Amino acid sequence: MSDDHRLTVRDLDVYYDQVHILQGVSFDVGAEPVAMVGRNGMGKTTLAKALVGLHPAGAGSVTFDGRELLGARPYKVVGAGIGYVPQGRRIWPALSTHEHLRMVGAKPGSRWTVDAVYDLFPRLAERRRVGASKLSGGEQQMLAIGRALLTNPRMLVMDEPSEGLAPSVVEQLVGTLRTLVDEGQRVFLIEQNLGFATEVGERVLVMVNGRIAADMGADELLADEEKQNLYLGVS
């Protein structure tokens, strides 16, 4: 029997053409929310894409609920219970807010319906008829998260949701994600914003040049300026 809804990554190698980007990446995400931080170009998005079937992996293993997902098509990964919020939100500009959510629809028996997404993000309900390209960055991010939730994910994988958002909007997003985590939503959050990463993640993985350089408690990283400097170049 596998641990329920556990994401297990082992010895993952990923290439872009001949370039070896991810090198032997291993980690687990269970009930405790996990954040991944790392400077630009370290391989975080490559990892997210490999996890959800959007980038071919060279070698290794990605299992969820004990099921091997490496090499599976994205729709299979979604079907296995992994929801994906891509970096840059990737909303569909031709559709309104409501059309976006209706297009994904709700899964039968799921906690997530279009109305439930509007309850979580009342701002989206106010903006339901607005074209997605006219939404603010924060609203687009809410839409991207709402869209992922409608797939009823056991595990939500998010790639830099705070990118380009005002601090007050980021703070709101932290509150929403913590609410989801308290409800039992499992989360793997990729973030360059250390404050966001450590407010949502209990554990933090640091990616440096395609490897996991550190795996530690969020509080531990927050308290260690030397490590922050070493891994992230912040003080």
Ligand X SMILES: Nc1ncnc2c1ncn2[C@@H]1O[C@H](COP(=O)(O)OP(=O)(O)OP(=O)(O)O)[C@@H](O)[C@H]1O
Q: x/- site string to ligand X, residues 192 to 231, per CB under 6 A?
A: x---------------------------------------
Q: What does the alpha-carbon distance between residue 118 and residue 182 come to, in Å, rounded to a whole number? A: 19
The structure tokens 């299979």 sit at 76
From the list ligand X, Mg ion, none, partner contacted by residue 16 (C-beta under 5 to 8 A by kind): ligand X
Query: What binding mask, one character per residue, do residues 37-56 give for Mg ion by CB under 5 A, x or -?
Result: -------xx-----------
Min. distance of Cβ 191 from ligand X in angstroms?
10
- The rounded distance, in Å, linking the Cα atoms of 203 and 7 is 14
Taking the CA atoms of residue 125, residue 127, residue 129 and residue 131 in that order, the dihedral angle to the nearest 10 degrees is -140
Q: How far apart are CA 49 and CA 35, in angstroms?
A: 16
Question: Closest separation between CB of residue 39 and ligand X, Å?
Answer: 7
41 binds ligand X (CB under 6 A): yes
Pairwise CA distance, residues 123 & 25, whole Å? 38
Distance of closest approach, residue 37 Cβ to Mg ion, in angstroms: 11
Task: Tell me which of 9, 12, 46, 135 binds ligand X, using CB under 6 A.
Answer: 46
Q: Which one among 27, 35, 37, 38 touches ligand X, defined by CB under 6 A?
A: 38
Residue with structure tokens 């056991």?
A: 154
> 55 vs 178, which CB is nearer to ligand X?
55
Binding string, residues 151-190; x marks residues near ligand X by CB under 6 A: ----------------------------------------
Select from 42, 37, 43, 40 the least CA-distant residue to 221: 37
For the bound state, the minimum distance from the C-beta of residue 90 to Mg ion, rounded and expressed in Å, comes to: 13
Query: Among Mg ion, ligand X, none, what does residue 75 contact (CB within 5–8 Å per kind)?
Result: none
Minimum Å distance from CB 23 to ligand X? 12
Q: Which of 35, 42, 78, 181: binder of ligand X (CB under 6 A)?
A: 42
Structure tokens, 183: 């409800």
Q: Which does 192 bind (CB under 5 to 8 A by kind): ligand X, Mg ion, none?
A: ligand X
Strand order across the 7-16 sheet: 19-29, 7-16, 59-64, 67-68
Whole-angstrom CA distances from 163 to 2, 12, 105, 125 are 35, 26, 26, 23
Q: Which of 143, 149, 155, 212 is nearest to 33 (CA)?
A: 155
- Using CB under 6 A, list all residues that contact ligand X: 16, 21, 38, 40-46, 87, 192
